[in-house]
Amino acid sequence: MSAQAAAVHGGGEYASTGIPNGKLGVWLFLASEIMLFATLFTTYVVLRISAPSWPRGWEELNVPLGALNTLVLITSSVTMVLAYAKAQARDKAGFYRYIGLTLALSFVFLIIKSFEYKAKFDRGHFPSTNIFFAIYFTLTGLHALHVIGGIVFNSGLALWGRRHWDHPLFAGRVECAGLYWHFVDIVWIFLFPALYLL
Amino acid sequence: MNSNAHASRHEASFWSRYVFSLDHKVIGLQYLFTSMFFLLSGFGMIMLLRWQLAFPGHPVPLVGGLISRLLPADWAPGGVLTPQFYNQLGAMHGTIMVFLGIVPLGVGAFGNYILPLQIGAPDMAFPRLNMMSYWLYLPGGLLMLASFLLPGGAAQSGWTSYVPLSIINPGQTVWLLAMVIIITSSLLGAVNFITTTLNMRAPGMTLGRMPVFVWSELVTAVLLLLAFPPLEAASILQLMDRVAGTSFYLPTGLVVAGQALKASGGGQPILWQHLFWFLAHPEVYVLILPAMGVVAEIIANGTRKPLFGYKEIVGSMIFIGGMSFVVWAHHMFLSGMTPALGNFFLVTTMIISVPSVAVLTCLIWSLKGGSIRFTTPMLFALAFLPLFGIGGLTGLPLGLTVTDIYLHDTYYVIGHFHYVVVTGTIIALMGGTYYWFPKWFGKRLNDFWGKVHFWGTVACMNGVFFPMFIQGLAGVQRRLYDPTAQLHNLTTQPMNVVSSFSAWLLFLFQIPFLVNIFYTIFKGERCEENPWEATTLEWACASPPPHGNFDKPPRVHRGPYEYSAPGARKDWIAQNAPEAA
Amino acid sequence: MNARNHASAAHVPHVRLYLAIFGALIFLTVLTVLVSYLHLPKAPAVLIALAIASVKASLVGSFFMHLKGEKALILAVIGVTLFFAGGLLLPLYDIAGSPTRVSQPWPSEQADKTQ
Amino acid sequence: MTPNYGWGLPVQASTFAPNIDFGIWVIHVAMFAIFILWSIFFVYLLIRYRRKPGVAADHGEGHPLKSLIPDFFVLAFEIALIAFYAIPGWSRIKMTTPPAQEANVVEMVAEQFAWDFQYPGADGKFGRRDAKFMDSANPLGLDPQDSAGRDDVVSINELHVPLGKPTVIYMTSKDVIHSFFIPEFRVKQDAVPGMRIPVWFEPTKAGTYELACAQLCGVDHSMMRGDVVVQTPKEYEAWLKSQTPQNADNPAAKPPENPANEF
């Protein structure tokens, strides 16, 4: 691994692009995620335009709860970037405070989401009810899966950081976790108005 | 040096060295043997299917009794294939050969093993990710094969699984799950390939000095990275349609077998075709690009001469990669898509045919002024040129909207894409196996049996696929369980018999190849480390290379194909050979 | 960057920058929700919502994901991806508005339903 | 073996069949020419530059663009094909549908493993169809109450078409995607559920031709065939009259007691 460690630091003897492997890898992974969510948005737009009738977002969905969720996710994005700043500044206590906040906010997001889903199920709205709810549950469901993935990655990183705080790659990995988390936030930034507000 | 210390820790257990290995070479070989297994299983399916095409309704000889006992009663009673089993064989043949056979062979096996060596890297950028991509590919593939054991049988609506048929038919749910797993595996592989190629090239190895094979794998990885996610999303939507009762692809008012289908409706069947072909066309370029890379390597080595038009070939590959995202709907000219879009995709399809022709032209011009050695890998590479030419040329009438009206969904299409994939990619990858076998196992494959395998395979492949053009012109549709049930297929029915016998003969000709491989691995005598006297970096280290490949990163001084340099002592100079004094 | 005292000096403006971005994001979220309460017709509603969301996304991208001043290769990767994601919109032209094809299964229903 | 099918393309029996055949013929001639020329050059290179003892390969500084000239010829040929053949042909065949007044309009519903045709009958109007009326006796789901539909003729797997004027078929499907394919007319178009897609052709020769399904539609995909009977206008009218259900001859006279129409 040490040969790669040399490579990871952007070069050493290797002719490289100067971007650490981890960061380039995460950005490539985010490129494929952009294509995934772009397909889902295209499906939503295509089905909505070609449908004879489509309910407006606020008629079926709980806009205040959605807005609250957006604020929660944006806050978690801020705490994530602060956690990265603390990691760069080698401030262990600060890092664990902010990464803890980020994880807590992610759980809050999922809890609010589950309330929303439960409210819909109680009113008998399931994915099979009509095409609107099929789109709603699929898009928000896949986004929630990505939030869960983010929680797993961030908590794994936090645990790994306890023993490997001085590992040369640690700050880079926090940055990569941050990049992924900000991407999940950006997807929600587009998803919230698309489903709830139009 | 640090890589040796790293290597010794690695020798610890059998498991970490062979099964859960982080070494790109071991993972490459794992991909090689697994994809070979899947290619043979997909090929075996077509052996059965060809019997039903040649002699519809007659019990299958030899294995007929075995099948009727092994399989559920209603699939092959008395050895005669039933339509649903026929459809399963057809759908799984396509899926297994494309997603489990050729892509893992061309990208997983050759790419994983050869790419890091050719750019002088110690290993892949993310070894754990590399291991994880194999260990997602294997279960995904086995899940796909296991879908035959489901009560309703495997997927039976074609490898393209057009909706609503694929939502009504049994067996599709497991197909979709296996597809999502395989796609995730390919995505991880693509991230690994691009990062390694960009960030871990040996000092001095600028992008202009990378071998053509590395360029082809890089463009392939970009295609995998950006084209697979749409199919993953579309598969998830289809999975929801089948499992959660949504109806993304089911329009309102469907009546199936007399009863109204209870689905909420409002879906668009054409949407699946758009999303599927948005992947599937870059996918077919993922199939052909590594083969072009392998052929370019072998031809440069076999003619002892630098490739003709290195920049043109690499430029064409990049142009193909870029254009492949905007040509997909030439598969859908007659699918109810707006005819106006047909004109747009006609023009983009014709534009993308130019770089493919350019690559082929440059490879043929590379022969001029060379000193051609007719070794076995060179024979395969040379056979690739005319046969891929036929594949490319027969794409013209299919790409043209008007002639596609008649030829769409006929055997002409099957002949076209098999000439590109079978006599194109598979022939090239077979040549690559002969070429890089000394690098993988330190032993050369037997040359005599190599030539027997070559001549037999090329002859039989043409015997199987050329009659399909004749059937296609007569209007024989594809995926017919019993072609003789329709009058317009009767005249060309003998062509089915010719194809079937050639296909079985082709299967027999693969036996010397397999025996040759396994015999040479265990009993072959070792050969020198650079038997082909090749210049690229993978030959600058031991065969098979130790863990960590190079003692220290090789320093690259020149382009990849410095053969017959004027005034040099030998007719080849390795990329990392120090500057001549 | 790693020395403790040097870091804290360079560190403070970052935090203030991030909190400023945080404020802007909250404001924009509240704005887009308020706009939705106007129940505008579809076309303007889509444009406004899309514009606000794009501004928020670019804020998160350029400051939180450090895309501002990022190496050209990363920006190229994103650019190429967005270009091909745009290619995905082509089916939109086909399915949504195609003259020669009426998406009604039965002729009679076509009469009463304004397409 | 009916005379329609030889080894090459089937007999031409519709107006745009010669047009399509011309395109197929031109492309195949060009393909053979390109393939033969390149093969000759290829074999010459193999023989001329095979390994000879003592003769080294040259380093080859040739300028590639000059040698891509054959590719520009192929490109020029393709552009000509697109501009003068494909785009005009496509717009004539697929993008324009003959107006309903001068064409013989038929409704078609494809289902798993049969083609159901509905002719407007004497009143020239199609009866309403609805999924809930569908059963084995009434595969098209004709609404018994609708007066327009009482004289409609229904034929399964058999399409009768008059000579001398184009026939426009509005196709849809009940369950899965089928593809309406008549080899002799060089006609092919997918029938997609949830969509009503027009396909048209104008037969030029009387006779019986084969209608086949070109898109995998399930177990009996290969059994899903039908006959297209091209008749002179007189014979066609006679056939239509013979098929018209009895209670429709004087629709206004008496309301039908039992709505079920037999045909």
| Greater model confidence, B569 or B450 | B450
**Nearest to C68, CA basis, from C79, C76, C77, C58:** C58
> Once rounded to an integer, what is the mean pLDDT over residues B389-402?
93
Helix H segments across C4-105? 4-37, 42-59, 72-87, 90-96
Contact present, B332 and B348 (Cβ < 8 Å): no
pLDDT > 60? residue B10: no
- CB of C90 within 8 Å of a chain B CB? The answer is yes
- Span D26-51, pLDDT tens digits: 999 999 999 999 999 999 999 999 88
Cβ separation of C88 and A39 shorter than 8 Å? Answer: yes
Best A2, A9, A14 residue to mutate vs chain B (most B CBs within 10 Å) = A14
Residues constituting chain C: 115
Looking only at Cα atoms, what is the longest distance across chain B? 85
Contact present, A22 and A178 (Cβ < 8 Å): no
Q: How far apart are CA C40 and CA C36, in angstroms?
A: 7
Task: Band the pLDDT of B369: cuts 50, 70, 90.
Answer: confident
Query: What is the total count of domains within chain B?
Result: 1
- CB of D217 within 8 Å of a chain B CB? The answer is yes
Cβ separation of A3 and B3 shorter than 8 Å? Answer: yes
Q: How far apart are CA D51 and CA D55, in angstroms?
A: 7
Q: How far apart are CA B173 and CA C51, in angstroms?
A: 39
Helix H segments across chain D? 17-48, 64-67, 69-80, 87-90, 233-243
Question: DSSP assignment of B488-552, as one string?
Answer: GGTTTHHHHHHHHHHHHHHHHHHHHHHHHHHHHHHHPPB--S-TT---SGGGGS-SSPPTTSSSS
Contact present, B508 and B463 (Cβ < 8 Å): no
- Span B63-113, pLDDT tens digits: 888 888 888 877 888 888 889 899 999 999 999 999 999 999 999 999 999
Of B199, B203, B247, the CB nearest to A21: B199
Residues constituting chain D: 263
pLDDT > 50? residue D260: no
Cβ separation of D186 and B405 shorter than 8 Å? Answer: yes
ipTM above 0.85, yes or no: yes
Q: How far apart are CA C112 and CA B347, in angstroms?
A: 39
Least confident of B134-138, B142-146, B178-182, B569-573: B569-573
CA-to-CA separations, B227 to A34, B183, B233, B277, C77, in angstroms, rounded: 11, 10, 11, 10, 14
Q: How far apart are CA B439 and CA B427, in angstroms?
A: 19
Cβ separation of A14 and B121 shorter than 8 Å? Answer: yes
State how far Cα C53 lies from the chain centre: 5
Cβ separation of A35 and C84 shorter than 8 Å? Answer: yes
Q: Which chains touch A (3 or more CB pairs under 8 A)?
A: B, C
pLDDT > 50? residue D55: yes
Q: How far apart are CA B548 and CA B145, in angstroms?
A: 35
Q: How far apart are CA A151 and CA A172, in angstroms?
A: 18
User: Phi-psi region for residue B371, left (φ > 0), alpha (ψ -120 to 50) or beta?
Assistant: beta
Cβ separation of C90 and B198 shorter than 8 Å? Answer: no
Q: How far apart are CA D179 and CA A75, in angstroms?
A: 54
Contact present, B249 and B237 (Cβ < 8 Å): yes
Residues near B457 by beta carbon (within 8 Å), at least 6 away in sequence: B427, B430, B506, B509, B510, B513
What is the residue range of B412's domain? 27-249+262-540
Task: Band the pLDDT of C13: cuts 50, 70, 90.
Answer: low
Residue B555 lies in a domain: no
| Greater model confidence, B136 or C112 | B136
Task: Band the pLDDT of B192: cuts 50, 70, 90.
Answer: very high
pLDDT > 50? residue B140: yes
Cβ separation of C113 and A52 shorter than 8 Å? Answer: yes
- CB of C102 within 8 Å of a chain D CB? The answer is yes
**Nearest to D110, CA basis, from D40, D174, D48, D27:** D174
| Greater model confidence, D249 or A184 | A184
- CB of B198 within 8 Å of a chain C CB? The answer is yes
Best C108, C110, C112 residue to mutate vs chain D (most D CBs within 10 Å) = C108
If you measure CA to CA, which chain C residue comes closest to B268? C95
Query: Could you tell me the sign of the dihedral formed by the alpha carbons of B58, B60, B61, B65, in that order?
Result: negative
CA distance D191 to chain C (A): 11
Task: Band the pLDDT of B477: cuts 50, 70, 90.
Answer: very high
Strands (E), B336-384: none
Contact present, B463 and B391 (Cβ < 8 Å): no
The kind and range of the H/E element at B292 are: helix B269-302
> For position B346, which CATH number holds?
1.20.210.10
- Span B416-441, pLDDT tens digits: 999 999 999 999 999 999 999 999 99
If you measure CA to CA, which chain C residue comes closest to D173? C105
Q: Which chains touch D (3 or more CB pairs under 8 A)?
A: B, C
If you measure CA to CA, which chain D residue comes closest to B488? D5
What's residue D140's pLDDT? 84
Residues near A152 by beta carbon (within 8 Å), at least 6 away in sequence: none
What's residue D183's pLDDT? 92
**Nearest to B25, CA basis, from B132, B105, B114:** B114
Of B125, B204, B225, the CB nearest to A4: B125
Cβ separation of B480 and D134 shorter than 8 Å? Answer: no
CA distance D109 to chain C (A): 9
Of A19, A52, A81, the CB nearest to C64: A81
Q: Is B321 helix (H, G, I), strand (E, B) or coil?
A: helix
Q: How far apart are CA A142 and CA B236, in angstroms?
A: 9
CA distance A24 to chain C (A): 7
CB pairs < 8 Å spanning B and D: 303
Helix H segments across D81-207? 87-90
CA-to-CA separations, A85 to A79, A108, C60, in angstroms, rounded: 10, 23, 15
Q: What is the mean pLDDT of chain B?
A: 90
What's residue D177's pLDDT? 93
Number of H helices, E strands in chain A: 7, 0
Contact present, D156 and D140 (Cβ < 8 Å): no
Least confident of B152-156, C9-13, D47-51: C9-13
Q: How far apart are CA A44 and CA A53, in angstroms?
A: 14
Task: Band the pLDDT of A43: cuts 50, 70, 90.
Answer: very high
pLDDT > 80? residue D256: no
CA distance C112 to chain D (A): 12
CB atoms within 10 A of CB C81: 23
Cβ-count burial B79-102 (b if 16+ within 10 Å, e if not): bbbbbbbbbbbbbbbbbbbbbbbb
- CB of C72 within 8 Å of a chain B CB? The answer is no
Q: Which amino acid is at B44?
A: G
Least confident of B66-80, B358-372, B478-492: B66-80
Best B184, B246, B254 residue to mutate vs chain A (most A CBs within 10 Å) = B246
Task: Band the pLDDT of B505: cuts 50, 70, 90.
Answer: very high
Looking only at Cα atoms, what is the longest distance across chain D? 104
Question: DSSP assignment of D125-142, as one string?
Answer: -PPPB-GGG-BTTBTT-B
Contact present, B419 and B395 (Cβ < 8 Å): no
Bridge-based pairing state of the strands D104-111 and D167-173: parallel
CA distance C58 to chain A (A): 9
Least confident of B8-22, B255-269, B447-461, D93-107: B8-22
Numbered residues of chain D with Cβ closer than 8 Å to any chain C Cβ:
94-95, 97, 107, 126, 128-131, 143, 146, 170, 172, 193-198
User: Phi-psi region for residue A165, left (φ > 0), alpha (ψ -120 to 50) or beta?
Assistant: alpha
Tokens 């027969």 sit at which residue?
B394
- According to DSSP, the residues that pair with C114 across neighbouring strands are none
- Chain B residues inside the 8 Å CB shell of C106: 253
Residue B298 lies in a domain: yes
Task: Band the pLDDT of B6: cuts 50, 70, 90.
Answer: very low
- CB of A27 within 8 Å of a chain C CB? The answer is yes
pLDDT > 50? residue B286: yes
- Span A114-173, pLDDT tens digits: 999 999 999 988 888 888 999 999 999 999 999 999 999 999 999 998 888 888 888 889
Cβ separation of C108 and D129 shorter than 8 Å? Answer: yes
What's residue C78's pLDDT? 93
Cβ separation of B234 and A39 shorter than 8 Å? Answer: yes
What's residue B18's pLDDT? 79
| Greater model confidence, B366 or C98 | B366
What's residue D247's pLDDT? 59
Residue B410 lies in a domain: yes
Cβ separation of A38 and C26 shorter than 8 Å? Answer: no
Q: At CA D122, angle to CA D121 and CA D124, rounded to 5?
A: 75
Best D171, D195, D199 residue to mutate vs chain C (most C CBs within 10 Å) = D195
Q: What is the mean pLDDT of chain D?
A: 85
Contact present, D162 and D104 (Cβ < 8 Å): yes
Residues constituting chain B: 581
- Span D76-117, pLDDT tens digits: 999 999 999 999 999 999 888 888 888 899 999 998 889 999
Q: Which chains touch B (3 or more CB pairs under 8 A)?
A: A, C, D
Hey, what are A143's tokens? 């986004």
What's residue B463's pLDDT? 95
Q: How far apart are CA B418 and CA B468, in angstroms?
A: 10
Q: How far apart are CA A83 and CA B165, in angstroms?
A: 50
Q: How far apart are CA A179 and CA A104, in angstroms?
A: 18
Query: Could you tell me the sign of the dihedral formed by the alpha carbons of A96, A97, A98, A99, in that order?
Result: positive
Tokens 């998830």 sit at which residue?
B236
Q: How far apart are CA B262 and CA B314, in angstroms?
A: 53
What's residue C98's pLDDT? 56
pTM of the model: 0.91
What's residue B11's pLDDT? 54
- Span B228-253, pLDDT tens digits: 999 999 999 999 999 988 889 988 87
Contact present, C64 and A180 (Cβ < 8 Å): no
Q: How far apart are CA C35 and CA D93, in angstroms?
A: 48
- Span B300-355, pLDDT tens digits: 999 988 998 899 999 999 999 999 999 999 999 998 888 888 899 999 999 999 99
* pLDDT more than 70, % of chain B: 98
Q: Which amino acid is at D254?
A: K
Q: Which residue ranges form the domains of chain A, and what is each CATH number?
A: 21-197 (1.20.120.80)
Residues near A37 by beta carbon (within 8 Å), at least 6 away in sequence: A187, A190, B233
Q: What are phi and psi of D59, to 5 degrees?
A: -70, -20
Q: What are phi and psi of B111, to 5 degrees?
A: -60, -50
Q: Is D59 helix (H, G, I), strand (E, B) or coil?
A: coil
Task: Band the pLDDT of B580: cuts 50, 70, 90.
Answer: low
Hey, what are B526's tokens? 């070792």
- Chain B residues inside the 8 Å CB shell of A129: 264
